Copies of this chain bind each other. A is one copy, B any other.
Amino acid sequence: MNIYILLFDNFRTLDVFGPVDVFGEVSEFTLHYCSLVGGLVYSSHHVPIMTEVMPLTIFSDSIIFIPGGIGTRSLVNDVGFTKALTHIIPQASYCLTVYTGSALVAKTGLLEGKTATSNKKAWSWVTSVNPQVNWQYHARWCIDVCFYTSSGISAGTDMALGFVADLYGQERSRLIADSMEYVWNNQSYNDPFAEPM
């Protein structure tokens, strides 16, 4: 399966590279680091990543991965980007988001009526992008059919392990987490950063 990691300037570094460290250990996955126009893209910590051009047509067993970060605040108003997401996401088997990446997908309307989550510290902004999404405050990550959306930054790594577990079993993810010396929070409802509302 191809995983298309869709990058943009000022994406949050760990949103991408925690999950990449998980997916990169799964031999069934081929990772593609993409952006809409290709070339160098910089994370919010100025990490320069060389990207391929994101293909607008993908195979149906593909996975789209969309990080968050401060760059989403302007990107959510980029009509061309939203149009591209609206075109690409329905072709994929799964769409995964981390942090404020769910705001970008919410903007397309594809999450309307679906359960999703996002970062706690950006909660008001993300949920305001599209109030028709069934936003879940208390969640490390949410699953609704093909959409996996995680809470903030580090939660993406837990979700990535959860996604691999859903496809290939808990033991597979447990082995990957152990090899990363990572203490995996494997319960999607266990959100240590959600304050009582």
Given contacts A13-B24, A183-B183, contact A178 B193 (CB under 8 A): yes
Max chain B Cβ within 10 angstroms of own Cβ: one of A12, A45, A179: A45
Q: Which B-chain residue is minimally distant from A23 (CB atoms)?
A: B45
Assembly of this chain: how many copies? 2
Select which of B31, B121, B154, B181 is within 8 A of A182 by beta carbon: B154
User: Chain B residues with Cβ under 8 A from A182's Cβ?
Assistant: 153-154
Max chain B Cβ within 10 angstroms of own Cβ: one of A47, A152, A192: A47
A185 at the interface (CB under 8 A from B): yes
A114 at the interface (CB under 8 A from B): no
A21 at the interface (CB under 8 A from B): yes
Given contacts A20-B13, A178-B193, A180-B152, contact A48 B47 (CB under 8 A): no
A37-56: which have CB < 8 Å to B? 40, 44-50
What is the bound-complex CA distance between A18 and B17, given in angstroms?
A: 8
What is the bound-complex CA distance between A49 and B155, given in angstroms?
A: 24
- A contacts with B, residue count (CB < 8 A): 37
A4-28: which have CB < 8 Å to B? 12-14, 16-18, 20-21, 23-24
CB distance from A40 to the nearest CB of B (A): 6
What is the bound-complex CA distance between A45 and B31, given in angstroms?
A: 8
Interface string of A157-197 (1 = CB under 8 A from B): 00000000000000000000011111101000000110000
Quick check: B48 and A33 within 8 Å, CB to CB?
yes
Quick check: B33 and A20 within 8 Å, CB to CB?
no
CB distance from A21 to the nearest CB of B (A): 4
CB distance from A44 to the nearest CB of B (A): 7
Residue ranges of A at the interface with B (Cβ–Cβ < 8 Å): 12-14, 16-18, 20-21, 23-24, 31, 33, 40, 44-50, 119-121, 151-155, 178-183, 185, 192-193
Closest 7 CB pairs of A and B: A24-B45, A17-B17, A152-B181, A14-B21, A48-B50, A154-B182, A181-B193
